[in-house]
Chains A and B, each alone.
Chain A
Amino acid sequence: MPAPQTSESVTKPVPTPAALFLGFSRVGLSGFGGVLPWARRLLVETEGWLSAEEFNVLLGLCQFLPGPNVVNLAVAVGVRFCGWRGAVAGAVGLMLGPFLVALVLGVLYGLYGELPAVQSMLHGITLVGAGLIIAMGIRMGLNVKNRLIYLPFAAAAFVAIALLNWPLPAVMLGGAALTIAMSWWRLSQEAKACRS
């Protein structure tokens, strides 16, 4: 439970843009299959820039918005400490290393992608990658609150995209209008129940 405005230790280090750049560079390059745990380790454990609570609050902001969550997190942390310069330092630090690695791999793929050995290797990795994504989806599903009420919507979105091939933006926006209206209504009911 986030409790903002708790008293922090007085001597908490404040990073410079350069420190943000270097810190997030490490996070980006160590993150195989999921960068968030590494970001938490850097921010909360190694450098102590954020308390666990502050981390959760900022993560909430990033998960509230669409887009790559870790990039959002790097921007949020950067803005918090150094304004726009910090945001750019954090996001560029996070992305630069992986971006260059991806470019090199992409070039190698262009050169050797037609080789049967490379193709069969990538075929195997595709299946593992699909498995990792499905596992991530299951983990996210287990974290959903009031599962009996909300998970049917997950199932509906799955059917619409995977089986019916409906356009994703329409499913997402239409679905969100419905589920947000519902959760809003449920929250107001709860608030009323609390008051009476």
Chain B
Amino acid sequence: MPILIELFVSFFLVAFVSFGGASAVIPELYRIAVTEHAWMDARTFTELFAIAQAAPGPNVLIVTLIGQHVDGWLGAFLATLGMCLPMSLLVGLLFKHWDKLQHWRGRAAIQLGVAPLAVGLVLASGTLIAHSAAPSLIGVLLLVLTVVINLRTKLHPLWLILLGGVLGLSGLV
């Protein structure tokens, strides 16, 4: 299969299981990009993740960066489109009936049932990324500090990203 089609189809399929957004499916993105297609090595994947986190915009940008790494701006476009298109279409179709569906038991059941799985997926994503970065003890402390500050204070995440960059440069983490 031509690589551009492969990019589009891979992310198109991931979209259907990405409950909790792109952050929830990072292990699957890793499997696609590194393990299955060998589009990049593990280090590159982690670094693209870092760039996506530091850039403004939705978390889905990790998919954009993977696409670009594979095949330039067209790859970036098709990968992003693949990830966004399926559910955008479904939202467009479901929208008109949403008022009725609001009171359908199945809707509540799906929302209640899927939420805990999304939690597990998101936590697994964070853990796997952290693990693949192989942090030092200070690096682990930085991660824990980030979690605590982000949960307990209103500090803008950009400051934490800046701190991460500086500590990274210092070679301590």
Q: Which residues of A line the B interface, CB within 8 A?
A: 2, 4, 28-35, 57-58, 60-72, 75-76, 79-80, 84, 87, 91, 94-95, 97-99, 101-103, 105-107, 109-110, 113, 117, 119-141, 143-146, 150-151, 153-158, 160-162, 167-169, 171-173, 175-176, 178-184, 186-188, 191
Contacts and interface: CB of A to CB of B under 8 A. Distances in A.
Interface string B118-147: 111111111111100101000100111111
A124 B71 CA distance: 27
14 contacts: A30-B56, A63-B111, A67-B84, A68-B58, A95-B84, A97-B56, A97-B57, A98-B61, A128-B164, A129-B52, A132-B160, A179-B113, A180-B109, A184-B113
B95 A76 contact: yes
A146 B113 CA distance: 11
Contact of A99 (B18, B76, B157, B161): B76
A70 B17 contact: no
Nearest to A63: B111
Given A120-B171, A127-B146, A131-B142, A169 B28 contact: yes
B3 interface: no
A53 to B, nearest CB: 12
A110 B68 CA distance: 10
Interface in B151-173: 151, 156-158, 160-161, 163-169, 171, 173
A172 B13 CA distance: 13
Contacts of B13: 169
List of 9 A-B pairs having minimum Cβ-Cβ separation, nearest first: A124-B168, A98-B57, A131-B146, A157-B120, A67-B87, A33-B157, A128-B164, A129-B53, A179-B113
Nearest to B118: A140
Contact of A157 (B99, B102, B121): B121
Nearest to A149: B116
B37 interface: no
A83 to B, nearest CB: 9
A98 B61 CA distance: 8
Contact of B83 (A68, A109, A119, A121): A68
A142 to B, nearest CB: 9
A91 B88 contact: yes
> Which of A113, A125, A145, A175 is packed against the most chain B CB atoms within 10 Å?
A125
